[in-house]
């Protein structure tokens, strides 16, 4: 993702390729882009660029000679020249994940060229804003975003003052690795820059930001030091805020267009410059915002709060605790139930002893009934035999 140095290099690139060129006609937007139309049309205009942190501003300036080419006379020409399209226009760009500028032949426009400015010369050439992922944005008549702080590269003194004056802000309650991505205070710092800065100072990425930065409020140099000694001391022992300026400036001084895959030579130099970001042997973790932070392990990484955990991890933890409680409670209930139950053998004896009186009684009754029937049968049979003999 392009960071402060890449946007500054892009502005330098635009000023270099557009120097001495006159652009003409309409500004064309691709059909698939959801960014606003740029309603600017001029027979002759020039383009210049400036950068601030993670933003870049293009200024389209019509040439004064164009007044004579407009329809109408006198006051009408003046009104038309000061009305709408012929006034200078500022376009503020934010590159998103993959934005960049390219200057190519109009006949061979690059793929994903979503905004195009054509030269007046023939054959025509075009300055194109290229963005394959389409996360980049531009604003017509745009200005620098007010909620972004001073640029870490071009406004260092204002940047340092803005940070140290606002350490009570809730943004500094977070780990230092997350605070460094807050563009309200660190305008221009991105993912690879924060990794390189923290690595050089051996600051653990999940240390509290306020704790790290509060010590800088009381850092004062001796007034007896000469200017050259002060500069040397800063170079040999820079603090965090000084590196937020110095590290991006190193990338700028390398030149080129950064680490994009289309610039193989620049990418090789950039990868050789990296000391921590995506370097083998370094460790990476997700911060509370889901961004990957690369760092070197010097001591155990402090556990992050549950706020930074994913919802799936929270659910798993809760369900695990719940299952554990259920298992413990179930075991305790089973033990209590077993304690209330008598021994199995004793239960059999007790049941047998309870059933035995009732079983004996019916047996005795059946014996008495059988004997009674036999005695009755004998009594009734005797008279009948006597009657037979008498006959």
Catalytic residue annotation? 2-3, 54
Rg (C-alpha) for the chain, rounded Å, is 44
CA atoms of 257 and 166, how far apart (whole Å)? 34
Residue entry with tokens 């996360």: 135
Name every residue whose Cβ is closer than 8 Å to that of residue 106 and which is 6 or more positions away in sequence. Answer: 118, 119, 123, 124, 125, 126
The answer to whether 248 and 5 are in contact (CB under 8 A) is yes
Q: Find residue 113's DSSP bridge partners.
A: 130
CA atoms of 176 and 287, how far apart (whole Å)? 10
- Report which DSSP code applies to 90: E
Strand pairing report for 41-52 and 292-295 = unpaired
Q: Find residue 358's DSSP bridge partners.
A: none
CA atoms of 232 and 241, how far apart (whole Å)? 16
In the numeric block, which tokens belong to residue 171? 């943004």
CA atoms of 150 and 52, how far apart (whole Å)? 8
CA atoms of 160 and 175, how far apart (whole Å)? 19
Instruction: Classify residue 124 as exposed, middle or buried by CB count within 10 Å of its CB (0-12, 13-18, 19+).
Output: middle
Strands annotated E in 250-297? 283-286, 292-295
The answer to whether 109 and 56 are in contact (CB under 8 A) is no
Name every residue whose Cβ is closer than 8 Å to that of residue 205 and which is 6 or more positions away in sequence. Answer: 175, 176, 177, 194, 198, 285, 287, 293, 295
**DSSP string covering 166-195, please?**
TTTSGGGGSBHHHHTT-TTTSBT--HHHHH
| Long-range Cβ contacts of 216-220 (<8 Å, 24+ apart) | 216/164, 216/240, 216/241, 217/164, 217/167
């Amino acid at each position: 993702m392009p960071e402060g140095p890449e946007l500054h290099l892009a502005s330098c690139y635009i000023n270099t390729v557009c120097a001495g060129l006159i652009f003409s006609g309409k500004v064309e937007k691709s059909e698939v882009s959801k960014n606003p139309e740029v309603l600017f049309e001029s027979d002759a205009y020039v383009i210049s660029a400036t950068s601030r942190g993670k933003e870049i501003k293009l200024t389209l300036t019509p040439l004064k000679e164009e007044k004579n080419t407009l329809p109408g006379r006198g006051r009408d020409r003046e009104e038309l020249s000061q009305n709408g399209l012929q006034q200078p226009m500022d376009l503020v760009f934010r590159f998103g994940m993959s934005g960049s500028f390219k200057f190519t032949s109009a006949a061979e426009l690059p793929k994903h060229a979503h905004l195009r400015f054509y030269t007046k010369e023939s054959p025509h050439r075009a300055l194109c804003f290229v963005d394959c992922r389409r996360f980049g944005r531009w604003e017509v008549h745009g200005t620098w975003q007010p909620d972004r702080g001073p640029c870490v590269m071009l406004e260092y003194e204002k940047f340092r003052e803005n940070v140290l004056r606002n350490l009570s802000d809730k943004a500094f309650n977070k780990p230092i690795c997350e605070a460094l991505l807050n563009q309200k205070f660190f305008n221009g710092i991105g993912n690879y820059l924060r990794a390189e800065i923290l690595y050089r100072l051996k600051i653990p990425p999940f240390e509290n930001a306020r704790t790290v930065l509060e010590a800088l409020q009381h850092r004062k140099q001796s007034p007896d030091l000469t200017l050259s000694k002060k500069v040397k001391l800063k170079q040999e022992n820079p603090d965090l805020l000084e590196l937020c300026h110095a590290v991006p400036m190193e990338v700028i001084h390398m030149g080129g267009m950064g680490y994009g895959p289309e610039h193989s030579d620049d990418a090789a130099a950039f990868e050789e410059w990296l000391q921590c970001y995506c370097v083998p042997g370094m460790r990476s973790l997700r911060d509370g915002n889901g961004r990957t932070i690369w760092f070197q392990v010097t001591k155990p990484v402090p556990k992050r709060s549950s706020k930074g955990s994913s919802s799936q991890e929270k659910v798993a933890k809760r369900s695990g605790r719940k299952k554990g409680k259920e298992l413990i409670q179930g075991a305790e209930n089973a033990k209590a139930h077993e304690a209330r139950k008598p021994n199995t053998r004793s239960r059999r004896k007790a049941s047998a002893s309870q059933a035995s009186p009732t079983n004996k009684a019916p047996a005795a009754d059946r014996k008495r009934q059988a004997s009674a029937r036999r005695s009755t049968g004998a009594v009734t049979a005797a008279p009948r035999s006597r009657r037979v003999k008498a006959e």
